[in-house]
Structure 1
Amino acid sequence: MSLQQPPRSTSSRFPRPDASMSLLTNVMEHSLDDGYAEAAARRGEVGRSRMPRTVRAKLGLAAGLVLAALVVTVGAAQARVSAPTIAKEKQELIERIESGGKEADKLQKDVDKLRSSVEAEQREVLAKHGDARGRTTALLAGATAAKGPGLKLVVDDAKDAGSGKGDGPRQSDGFSDTGRIRDRDLQRVVNGLWAAGAEGVSINGQRLTSRSAIRAAGDAILVDNKPLVPPYTLLAIGPGQKFSRTFQDSVDGQYLYVLHKDYGARTSISVQDEVRLPAAPSLILRTAKPVRTGKGSTS
């Protein structure tokens, strides 16, 4: 009796028709990526509204909200409690600043008073013991007051200062024109007066010397670190009409004319029979030599 072999299955006898397309088969059977599957599972836990669905997750969210509210409440309470203290400290700081400012102003007045006293004694000594050459030097240096014929030149901002125009002599340094007189404008005018033969110049009652500086601090013009307020009145001692013509015909005089004509700067010039200039402040005597008063003696 012969044993019959079991019939072979069709699947073992014949390979799958798509056996050669295993990659496509895998894609079809696992069409959802693992990352997407994990995100879908997480969405099923928290829901589409991103709110947790489980009791444990809800309790955790509630605890977090309570903690955040507690922190905000405590912070607001502390700010309310500390507000009077901060206001008090601010007021104390303001009072200290004001007190310090008053003390500084008082000290500055004392310094100015002592400086004026020293300068007066220096001028008295120069007038008493100096010769004609010394007096001339003191006059030219601005150490003593001066008077004589000269010019009065008034320079002021334009009425519509701030609306400036495009081209002109003030555009070369990149600053826009506003119709406002600036430090460089006064520098050119003063240099023009010296070049025209001025023997002494002052601006708004402040005597200029060879050591004077005309600078700017924002929109303010400083002369020897003292602010000036427009209009700017320049007084210069010189030979009258000739002095006036020489200045107006100079390059700096023409520059001032352009500022008036093109930018609306208000200017006026007049010849004065007598101009009085004050002595320059803060002149320091740095060197001195003994003067012989008699044979074999010095003082």
Structure 2
Amino acid sequence: MCGMPQQHPVRSSPRRLARPDASMSLLTNVMDHSLDDGYAEAAARKRAQGQSGLPKTLRAKLGLAAGLVLAALVVTVGAAQARIAAPVVAKEREELIDRIDKESDSADRLEGQVDSLRTDVGNKQREALRKHGGEQGELVGMLSGAIPVHGPGVKLVVDDAKSAQSGTGGPRESADFSDTGRVRDRDMQRVVNGLWESGAEAVSINGQRLTALSAIRAAGDAILVDNKPLVPPYTVLAVGDGQRLSTRFQNSSDGLYLHALTENFGIRNSISTQDDVKIPAAPSVIVRTAQPRAEQKGTS
């Protein structure tokens, strides 16, 4: 019986088990090598050479000290420059003050000359009126504002409202009224015209005599009378029959207008009769003359 050769069983080599994290090689590499190789090599070289570097705290202190030294240097340089420039600035300031004082003195002298010339002109005008006007000269001088006058009359004080504020705009701009509480030039125009119409013979505002050629205008919130600025309260003096003048003015349309300003916008006013009102002459009166035209003879 032929027997088949006996074969030894083949033993298979055991299979190597895969790592559980084999599929996460990138993450594993990052975890195993948290420091870049280049940085690691540089750190190793420094350790080998004994160059471990300064501690962060010491570096911070050194930086702070350097900053303080720089700041002290800047302050020192600035103070030195200020000490150097101080005498120059003081000298320029003194020179400027001297110039202001000199110009102020010059302006005062010129103003005095103007006042003197105005007085001289007024005296000559009054003398001319008395010389050429005869019995009517004084009346003409009074009506023209060339001579001072006094006599019974009224005193009317007009002032801004207590809560007056600067500015423009509002209903008054389009309807002859204002909601700002300030007295305007047109208000004083109506007051003065109302006094003239009520029988006033002479009128002044804050000592400024009004004539037939006087103008009451505004420059911002200021009121100008013949280009002279006035400030509130505005004191209006009028020569005339005191009681009659007061009654007629308050019952006139202009007096009612002033009353409406008080009721609606708080503008303050008071009127009283006076036994003796003194009104100065106008600073300057423009003298104008007229001559009759020669009659032309007709031709036949």
TM-score range, shorter chain: 0.5 to 0.7
Summarize the Cα distance change of 1:273–1:174 in structure 2 as closer, same or farther, 3 Å threshold: closer
Q: For 1:182, which of 179, 184, 193 is the aligned residue? A: 184
Kept in 1, the 8 Å contact 2:121–2:284? The answer is no
Q: For 2:234, which of 209, 232, 235 is the aligned residue? A: 232
Output aligned runs, 1:1-299, within 5 Å. 85=88, 88-89=91-92, 91-162=94-165, 170-172=172-174, 177-287=179-289
Summarize the Cα distance change of 1:91–1:265 in structure 2 as closer, same or farther, 3 Å threshold: same
Q: How far is 1:173 from its partner?
A: 7.0
Q: How far is 1:102 from its partner?
A: 1.9
Distance 1:276 1:246 in 2: 21
Summarize the Cα distance change of 1:254–1:243 in structure 2 as closer, same or farther, 3 Å threshold: same
Kept in 2, the 8 Å contact 1:171–1:177? The answer is no
Q: How far is 1:105 from its partner?
A: 1.4
Give SS of 2:174's match: coil
Summarize the Cα distance change of 1:265–1:246 in structure 2 as closer, same or farther, 3 Å threshold: same
Summarize the Cα distance change of 1:283–1:78 in structure 2 as closer, same or farther, 3 Å threshold: same
- The more displaced of 240-249 and 196-205 is 240-249
The aligned length equals 218
Instruction: Give the letter aligned to residue 200 of structure 1.
Output: A
Kept in 1, the 8 Å contact 2:118–2:284? The answer is yes
TM-score (norm 1): 0.61
Distance 1:254 1:96 in 2: 53
User: Gaps spanning 5+ residues in structure 2: where?
Assistant: 1-76, 292-300
Percent identity, aligned pairs only, is: 63
Q: How far is 1:228 from its partner?
A: 1.9
Q: What does residue 294 of structure 1 align with?
A: none
Instruction: Give the letter aligned to residue 139 of structure 1.
Output: M
- The more displaced of 153-162 and 77-86 is 77-86
Distance 1:255 1:94 in 2: 50
Q: Deviation per CA, 1:170-212, whole angstroms, max 9, x where unpaired? A: 3427996322222222112112212222221111122100121
User: Gaps spanning 5+ residues in structure 1: where?
Assistant: 1-73, 290-299
Structure possessing the higher radius of gyration over alpha carbons: 2
Distance 2:242 2:80 in 1: 78
Q: How far is 1:265 from its partner?
A: 1.5
TM-score (norm 2): 0.61
